[in-house]
Structure 1
Amino acid sequence: MASDIDARLSQLRARRRGDPTSEYIIKADSASPSYFALDAAEIEDWEKRGSSNQRWTRYAIGAMQPVGKKYTEVSEQTGERVAKQLLDRLAKAGITAEFRLQGSVPLDVHIKRVSDVDVLAITKDFYTYSTQGVQALRGGYTNPTVRTSAGVLSDLRQRTELHLFEAFPAAKVDKSGAKAVKVSGGSLARSVDVVPAHWYDTKDYQVSGRHADRAVTIYNKATGETIDNLPFLHIERVGARCDSINGGLRKSIRLCKSVKADSKRDIGLSSYDIAAVMYHADMAALSVGRYSDLAVLSETQRHLDALYRDPGAAGRLWVPDGSRVIFDSAEKRDWLLSLSLEIDELLANVVQENFSSLLPNGISQSVQRELVKALQV
């Protein structure tokens, strides 16, 4: 067990600091190499919490902390740099586009210093809309076209691949992804996934006009199918719920993602699904995380355990944007169990090293949760 926690702490530090010899760290930090060399060796606050014998406790606390702001800014700036190159090249080809970040970075639930960035490349020359929306029913859409989503996005995908090769000749452009073109290496400080898309005006958007209610349609190169997503509504709802409790929800999401990354179990839940699962946790319990990080571990364990034990309740939970149920396949139930077991074991190990006389295997998980919730480290 000791070797397991040593390995996990090492992996956690590597994700949060990055490999100082990595090409991404060197490129991102080349403007101030001495500063960032010192920064990479810096001991983070979570590593100073508790004693040297409280390694599981340190891991639990560290696993839920946000990545440093300056590293997130590098990720965002790299995405913006790629977007600027594509914007100019697409404009010369007669395509007006706009770009938006999506995924873990703008939501601030990423767990790596060197995080990949997801960029939506959205054509403004074509969009679709719900024919049942109020604007459509009032005749507000008057630009019929024979073009199709699949045709437009297939062309945009091909042009994106070509322009990325042109803009970043020293980088690697991976065209194999079904939904995204990945560009990495060369002069880029981060790997960037570019997802071609167009706007889709939902019924809600036609009423509200809010950016968050507007969907995007993306293209699956492997199948030729199109998919409607609501990435901005997901970010808005998860972010707002987290902000209302001063950060506990994001901590819980990062904790689960970190445990997944370090587990030897098969946990195929995506970052999106993990965020959706924890979105339905007890926010009052997670709000205690503003005073005690370990209260987040306590509620995370309770929630995951409760969901696995009550498949009916789990099956009724929807993702935050309301587009589908979370557990829409049998394998996701298996992955939930694996994640739940990991958090069970983490809770027990934290109890063991802080309350060794109580022998956590001999006390109920509800008692373990109460002990950890009240623990100040």
Structure 2
Amino acid sequence: MRTESEKILKLKYPAATVDTSGGKAIAISGGSLPRPVDVVPSHWHDTLDYQASELERDRGVYILDKKVPATLSNHPFLHIYRVNQQDASAAGGLKKAIRLCKNVKNDAIEDGKKIIFPSFDIASTMYHCDLAGLRVGAFYELAILAETQCFLDELYHNAEKAKSLWVPDGSRRIFDNTEKYEGLRTLSVEMDDLAKEVAKEQSNLLKFGGDPSLDDSRRVLNGALVGN
């Protein structure tokens, strides 16, 4: 299935870059695609939990890691279910934070920076973000940026905490290799810069006061109202 998928994608997207070097995902970018896409060939695995509950969230899949090579069990629907639950508790702020991270990552890559931090792991990381901080974004939208920057900055400076975090379905730790953690650190720096620049747009005091601190930037973002 993996071999056939690589052939088909190269055939169907001749103008795009089809990167088949990844162990689990085939990465496609450029050409007619508005944003990078990861394709992960997989097949169903009806777990014992699924056979008992018949709930989609308990249904699993198997994917290939061709670098080992070995097939690995995965539970994407349980992941989605738990992220959705967490997002509801955050008044919709979690998914906004995840999308923000993905957009900042893609912009950085377009600028020539290297960030190896898969979308799945970005979502899994933000799953552990402070929900109260994200809920503020229901009224002050820029608070999403403030909380995201704060959490990534915390993980940047606390590798032990970062490497203790698990993906939502509990199948593995998020940062199971050095490249992902370095990707997180690069994304954190990008988010720092974005938070400062956006805060300066909201405050003349910061705009004309030199390089603002991250604390001051978050304070402004948490209280800024963005017009429609």
TM-score between both structures, scaled by the size of structure 2: 0.77
1:38-80: per-residue Cα shift (whole Å, max 9, x none)?
xxxxxxxxxxxxxxxxxxxxxxxxxxxxxxxxxxxxxxxxxxx
Kindly indicate whether residue 102 of structure 2 is the aligned counterpart of residue 257 of structure 1. Answer: yes
Deviation at 1:192, TM superposition (A): 9.5
Asked whether the 8 Å contact 1:352–1:360 carries over to 2, the reply is no
Secondary structure of residue in 1 paired with 2:211: helix
Secondary structure of residue in 2 paired with 1:219: strand
Gaps of 5+ in 2: 29-36
Letter paired with 1:195: P
Deviation at 1:354, TM superposition (A): 2.2
Aligned equivalent of 1:371, options 206, 210, 220: 220
1:226 alignment counterpart: 71
Deviation at 1:176, TM superposition (A): 5.4
1:284-323 matched pairs, under 5 angstroms? 284-323=132-171
Gaps of 5+ in 1: 1-155, 184-190
1:275 alignment counterpart: 123
Instruction: Measure the CA separation in 2 of the matches of 1:180 and 1:324.
Output: 17
Deviation at 1:331, TM superposition (A): 2.1
Deviation at 1:248, TM superposition (A): 0.7
Instruction: Measure the CA separation in 2 of the matches of 1:273 and 1:297.
Output: 18
Deviation at 1:206, TM superposition (A): 5.2
Distance 1:342 1:222, change over 3 A: closer
Asked whether the 8 Å contact 1:249–1:279 carries over to 2, the reply is yes
Distance 1:237 1:159, change over 3 A: same
| Count of residues paired in the alignment | 209
2:33 alignment counterpart: none
Instruction: Measure the CA separation in 2 of the matches of 1:180 and 1:313.
Output: 27
Letter paired with 1:354: Q
Letter paired with 2:88: D
Kindly indicate whether residue 200 of structure 2 is the aligned counterpart of residue 355 of structure 1. Answer: no
Deviation at 1:219, TM superposition (A): 3.2
Q: Determine which structure has more spread, i.e. the larger CA radius of gyration.
A: 1
1:151 alignment counterpart: none
2:82 alignment counterpart: 237
Q: CA RMSD in A?
A: 3.2
1:102 alignment counterpart: none
Asked whether the 8 Å contact 1:281–1:300 carries over to 2, the reply is yes
Deviation at 1:253, TM superposition (A): 0.6
Secondary structure of residue in 2 paired with 1:327: coil
Distance 1:360 1:253, change over 3 A: farther
Asked whether the 8 Å contact 1:198–1:218 carries over to 2, the reply is no
Instruction: Measure the CA separation in 1 of the matches of 2:41 and 2:63.
Output: 7
